[in-house]
């Protein structure tokens, strides 16, 4: 019974408190802004800086998140761009290689047209001897492609060399720059005969030896074109070899010697043309045979031993075919 009385008192106190709050709210609603304004100002003075701080923190966190997303996006985009650049670099390199190959093949086509009377087959170089120069190299065509020993090989603008060995699917070529090579040649505009001899020591100067030039009328000059001779044993006539770059009188005052600049770049050969035709060499008479035998052996019949040794030191025409 006593407990019930206490509960009733508590309820009465609560009812009184709520009534007072209602009365206070009614009074405030009547007097309005006059009483509320100081409260607002006080609350604004305290709450506004806090609100600004919270807003700034939120903006910073939002910006940080955006920056993180941007960084991730930029990183992915950068990786994609690098991959694209690498791909374009490869494509550009391939295009450059294709253009260079096209230029070489165009040069071979022009050379093919220049010597259109001869049947030819194209071949790629697949191996060579050590060193910077293509003095002896192997091509990817052989007997099954119609290639035979002693066939002439051309590239660039003229003569490269001659086939020295043949397999079913490959062939070895000795170029005219090799130390063991010598070619019977002639001056294009005068038909004066000479010999073009290989000398690897001269290659850094981009030159070959020109020896035994018969120019009794002094019609041959620096800059003249030199081609293979019609008297050559194994080289077809009229194939361009190069241009005279230096010319001097020999000590005997009967012949001249000098240097020749070849028209073929023997440092950067990649493709060649093999002429599928052998030179038909028929000496005119017995005297011619004896003369050629003397040239190739290094001595002539009837000469003494000293003369034979001297002759042997001189280059012989078409020496690399022997």
* First-to-final CA distance of the chain: 145
pLDDT, one tens digit per residue, over 309-321 is 333 344 445 554 4
Residue 111 has φ and ψ, to the nearest 5°, of -65, -40
Q: How confident is the model at residue 185, as a pLDDT?
A: 96
Q: How confident is the model at residue 305, as a pLDDT?
A: 34
* CA 112 to centroid of chain Cα atoms: 24
Residue 97: count other Cβ atoms within 10 Å of its Cβ.
10
Q: How confident is the model at residue 81, as a pLDDT?
A: 81
CATH architecture classification, 120-289+316-321? Beta Barrel (2.40)
* Percentage of residues in the chain having pLDDT higher than 70: 67
Tokens describing residue 134: 């293509």
**Confidence band of 238 (pLDDT split at 50, 70, 90):** very high
Mean pLDDT confidence for 62-89? 77
Tokens describing residue 163: 């086939």
> Which candidate, 107, 143, 105, places its Cα nearest to that of 124?
105
Task: Tell me the whole-structure pTM to 2 decimals.
Answer: 0.61
**Confidence band of 39 (pLDDT split at 50, 70, 90):** low
Q: CA 196, CA 235: separation in Å to the nearest integer?
A: 12
C-alpha R_g of the chain: 49
* CA 181 to centroid of chain Cα atoms: 29
Q: How confident is the model at residue 85, as a pLDDT?
A: 79
pLDDT, one tens digit per residue, over 192-213 is 999 999 988 898 888 999 999 9
Q: CA 190, CA 134: separation in Å to the nearest integer?
A: 31
Tokens describing residue 248: 């001097």
């Amino acid at each position: 019974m006593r407990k019930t009385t206490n509960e009733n008192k508590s309820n009465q106190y609560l009812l009184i408190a709520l009534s007072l709050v209602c009365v206070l709210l009614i009074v405030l609603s009547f007097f309005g802004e006059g009483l509320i304004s100081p409260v607002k100002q006080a609350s604004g003075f305290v709450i506004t800086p806090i609100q600004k701080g919270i807003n700034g923190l939120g903006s910073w966190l939002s910006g940080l998140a955006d920056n993180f997303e941007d960084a991730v996006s930029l990183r992915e985009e950068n990786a994609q761009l690098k991959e694209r650049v690498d791909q374009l670099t490869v494509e550009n390199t391939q295009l450059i290689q294709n253009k260079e190959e096209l230029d070489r093949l165009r040069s071979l086509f022009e050379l093919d047209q220049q010597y259109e009377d001869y049947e030819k087959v194209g071949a790629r170089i697949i191996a060579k001897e050590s060193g910077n120069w293509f003095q002896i190299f192997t091509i990817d065509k052989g007997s099954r492609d119609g290639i035979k020993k002693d066939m002439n090989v051309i590239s660039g603008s003229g003569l490269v060399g001659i086939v020295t060995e043949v397999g079913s699917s490959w062939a070895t070529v000795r170029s005219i720059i090799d130390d063991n090579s010598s070619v019977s040649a002639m001056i294009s505009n005068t038909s004066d005969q000479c010999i073009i001899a290989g000398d690897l020591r001269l290659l850094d100067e981009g030159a070959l030896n020109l020896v035994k030039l018969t120019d009794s009328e002094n019609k041959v000059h620096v800059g003249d074109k030199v081609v293979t001779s019609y008297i050559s044993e194994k080289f077809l006539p009229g194939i361009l070899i190069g241009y005279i770059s230096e010319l001097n009188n020999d000590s005997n005052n009967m012949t001249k010697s000098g240097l020749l600049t070849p028209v073929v770049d023997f440092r950067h050969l990649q493709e060649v043309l093999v002429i599928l035709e052998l030179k038909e060499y028929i000496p005119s008479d017995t005297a011619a045979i004896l003369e050629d035998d003397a040239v190739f052996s290094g001595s002539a019949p009837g000469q003494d031993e000293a003369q034979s040794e001297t002759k042997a030191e001189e280059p012989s025409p078409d020496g690399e075919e022997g």
